Chains A and B, each alone.
Chain A
Amino acid sequence: KQEVTQIPAALSVPEGENLVLNCSFTDSAIYNLQWFRQDPGKGLTSLLLIQSSQREQTSGRLNASLDKSSGRSTLYIAASQPGDSATYLCAVNRMNSGYSTLTFGKGTMLLVSP
Chain B
Amino acid sequence: DVKVTQSSRYLVKRTGEKVFLECVQDMDHENMFWYRQDPGLGLRLIYFSYDVKMKEKGDIPEGYSVSREKKERFSLILESASTNQTSMYLCASSFRGRYTEAFFGQGTRLTVV
> Which A residues lie at the B interface, using CB under 8 A?
31-32, 34, 36, 41-46, 49, 51, 89, 91, 93, 96-97, 99-107
Contact = CB atoms under 8 A, between A and B. Distances in A.
Q: DSSP majority for the A interface?
A: strand
B27 to A, nearest CB: 13
A101 B48 contact: yes
Contacts of B45: 96, 101-103
Q: DSSP majority for the B interface?
A: strand
Interface string B91-102: 010000111011
A49 B107 contact: no
Contacts of A34: 101-102
A43 B105 contact: yes
Given A36-B104, A43-B104, A104 B42 contact: yes
Contact of A43 (B40, B56, B99, B107): B107
Given A31-B99, A46-B103, A99-B50, A89 B58 contact: no
Contact of A44 (B41, B90, B97, B99): B90
Contact of A32 (B41, B88, B99): B99
B29 interface: no
A101 B58 contact: yes
A21 to B, nearest CB: 15
Q: Could you say which of A36, A43, A51, A93 has the most chain B C-beta atoms within 10 Å of its C-beta?
A: A43
Contact of A51 (B35, B92, B99, B105): B99
B98 A93 contact: yes
B33 interface: yes
